[in-house]
Structure 1
Amino acid sequence: MEGTTITYTVSSNESGLTMKSFLRQRKGISRKLLVRMKQEQSIFLNGIFTYLDHPITVGDVITMKMPEEESENIVPEAMKLDIQFEDEDIMVLNKPANQCVHPTLLHPNGTLANGVVHYWMEQGFNRKFRAVNRLDKNTTGLLIVAKNQYAHQQLAITQRERQLTRVYEALVHGKLNKEEGTIQAPIARKSESLVEREVREDGQDAITHFKVLQELQNASYVQLKLETGRTHQIRVHMSYIGHPLLGDDLYGGTKEWMDRQALHARYLSFPHPRSKKIMSFTSELPADMEKTLNELLF
């Protein structure tokens, strides 16, 4: 099958630019992608292959054709996928607990990537698996997969410009001393661990906004909005302020009520990579968190 085609029509205020300036500065296309298009002679001006230094004028049509890609060493595996939305550029999925997003040495199969690659192959597509936002193995909820290099690159810009809204819900130990607030504390990997993170002065800037949704028995039901996206950010930040997630024994929580960290990616909002229309998605709490929440109600 044919790969993705991206088409732009030049407006009056863009006339006189070179194709390179138009695509890099006005459309945010990466240098890497433009180099690839040039090498493969798959970038066209009014239907004719044209070099990037060519000037453009109002009404010109610029087309980029991207061939499909083989997914990199990911073994296709049939599994049930909870697809919330899909078009030619993106998929939004609801990830269950106890599932990695990408294959690892410890988890070479059974991952979301294995299932998505199989799903695409059944439809006759070869694509590279590109997760836009990452979720831990035991975190549930909404995740975006870009279906082509263009969509992935555009969504990377969206993340960098903090236009990707990510809202989580969690069950945490104890009762917070205020109903809402912001945790701004840099996060770095612990020097003696490949997995664990910690708050440290030399870490990367990390900002989490929190709001208490409901007080429970020796616990709280909280909403968390990410301004940055560091590894384990919510888990580290909530532990840092003395309220680790239920079930998160890596960061000080206990498994008395949950056998995994009680964290769910509840809401996502972002501009579509091609149309720029704002897309919004909501995922219901998974059954195990809902059950624990009800058990801890006064």
Structure 2
Amino acid sequence: MKEQTDLWTYILQPQDEGLKYQEILYRRFHFSRRLLQKLKHSERVWVDGVFTFLTARGKAGETLAVQLQTPESNSFPGEDLPLEILFEDDYFLAVNKPAGRVVHPNPRYPTGTIGNAVIGYWLAKGESRPFRPIHRIDRNTSGVVVVAKNQFAHQQMFWQHNHQRIHKRYLGVVEGQVLEDQGTINAPIGHTPGSYLVRQISPDGAPAVTHYRVLKRYADATLLEFVLETGRTHQIRVHCQHLGHPLFGDDFYGGNIARFDRQALHAFIYEFNHPVTGELLTIRAPLPEDLRLLLRSLIAKS
């Protein structure tokens, strides 16, 4: 076997006896069909140190090894930009995105994004790979953004997302006092006619469910924790407007910008099971200074 330091390994169990290696990878470990096809066309799978075909059948006690990290080109240019790293291993990178920065380059924001910063960070370490964010948050929302460092990690998180194994929590400051200590907003979200960006509650929209819990009430505001069951564009923002308590600073959805100049929303927890170790990873992003100052001002006013 080629000398590798980045191998994923698994010792076949009695229940794997006689199964094709590709079926073991697909059914037990949720390797995507697309990734398996790539593995088939390259010498990246070994059994007990010897190259094997994925269509061969396994025996209990064998060590199956797969090279997951392969040389890949960058998706776009890297830049030397500030990057607050919350977590990193061979499979994932998690960063604390500041408000005002876009996650992925687009025609309107081709540079200065989290993607450019991450590519620049990797290049400085002598690494080259595409930018594969697991999820995105709005430009003016701060908090956790998780990036996959290879195709395996990315598709594993896609599987977890589809099976609701990923848990995300947000903090938000809304206008007025929310009277219920907790609740659920179940209201479908669709496009606002005439706008490609703004969303609205629509009977014909995509299902959207947001759970909320009151953390603290102020004289004219409430600090809420949000847990998403679905991940629609602008979901929390639209649902807060629907609740009658728009987020501070969210002028798209009824919020007043006089006291805060962006939507007061922060993605503070991202939790999932590591696809390789099985360990439960809880990644937390501290509150940014602007939200800390807002909360202090609300305390002073109460």
TM-score using structure 1 length:
0.95
Aligned residues: 297
Q: Which moved more, 1:223-232 or 1:35-44?
A: 35-44
Aligned to 1:286: 288
Aligned to 2:74: 71
Deviations 1:156-188 (A, max 9, x none): 112112121111100111122311011111122
1:134 to 124, 136, 146: 136
AA of the residue aligned to 1:111: T
1:217 to 204, 216, 219: 219
Question: Aligned-pair distance for 1:124?
Answer: 1.0
Question: What is the DSSP-based 3-state SS (H/G/I as helix, E as strand, rest coil) of the residue aligned with 2:74?
Answer: coil
* Contact 2:86–2:284, Cα closer than 8 Å, also in 1: no
2:149 to 131, 147, 150: 147
**Structure 1 residues 120 and 62, CA gap change in structure 2 (3 angstroms):** same
Question: What is the DSSP-based 3-state SS (H/G/I as helix, E as strand, rest coil) of the residue aligned with 2:143?
Answer: strand
Aligned to 1:11: 13
Question: Aligned-pair distance for 1:48?
Answer: 3.1
Deviations 1:202-227 (A, max 9, x none): 22221111011111232111111111
Distance across 1 between alignment mates of 2:146 and 2:182: 28
Distance across 2 between alignment mates of 1:110 and 1:184: 36
AA of the residue aligned to 2:13: S
Distance across 2 between alignment mates of 1:239 and 1:91: 33
Matched, 1:39 2:45: no
Give the 5 Å matches for 1:209-288.
209-288=211-290
Question: Aligned-pair distance for 1:115?
Answer: 0.6
* Contact 1:244–1:253, Cα closer than 8 Å, also in 2: yes
Question: What is the DSSP-based 3-state SS (H/G/I as helix, E as strand, rest coil) of the residue aligned with 2:71?
Answer: coil
Aligned to 2:117: 115
Distance across 1 between alignment mates of 2:17 and 2:121: 42
Distance across 2 between alignment mates of 1:105 and 1:53: 44
* Contact 1:19–1:56, Cα closer than 8 Å, also in 2: yes
Aligned to 1:104: 106
Aligned to 2:55: 53
TM-score using structure 2 length:
0.94
* Contact 1:236–1:251, Cα closer than 8 Å, also in 2: yes
Question: Aligned-pair distance for 1:29?
Answer: 0.3
Distance across 1 between alignment mates of 2:204 and 2:18: 46
Distance across 2 between alignment mates of 1:230 and 1:44: 41
* Contact 1:43–1:50, Cα closer than 8 Å, also in 2: yes
AA of the residue aligned to 1:71: N
Question: Aligned-pair distance for 1:3?
Answer: 8.6
**Structure 1 residues 76 and 271, CA gap change in structure 2 (3 angstroms):** same
Distance across 2 between alignment mates of 1:11 and 1:208: 41
Distance across 1 between alignment mates of 2:128 and 2:286: 31
Distance across 2 between alignment mates of 1:161 and 1:7: 24
Give the 5 Å matches for 1:170-209.
170-209=172-211
Gaps of at least 5 residues in structure 1 are none
Gaps of at least 5 residues in structure 2 are none
AA of the residue aligned to 1:278: L
Distance across 1 between alignment mates of 2:101 and 2:121: 17
The ranges of structure 1 where at least 4 consecutive aligned residues each deviate by more than 6 angstroms after the TM superposition are none
Question: Aligned-pair distance for 1:281?
Answer: 2.2
The percent of aligned pairs where both chains have the same amino acid is 38
* Contact 1:4–1:68, Cα closer than 8 Å, also in 2: no
* Contact 1:151–1:273, Cα closer than 8 Å, also in 2: yes
**Structure 1 residues 69 and 222, CA gap change in structure 2 (3 angstroms):** same
**Structure 1 residues 3 and 184, CA gap change in structure 2 (3 angstroms):** farther
Distance across 1 between alignment mates of 2:235 and 2:138: 11
Question: What is the DSSP-based 3-state SS (H/G/I as helix, E as strand, rest coil) of the residue aligned with 1:296?
Answer: helix
Deviations 1:198-255 (A, max 9, x none): 2212222211110111112321111111111111111111111111111110111110
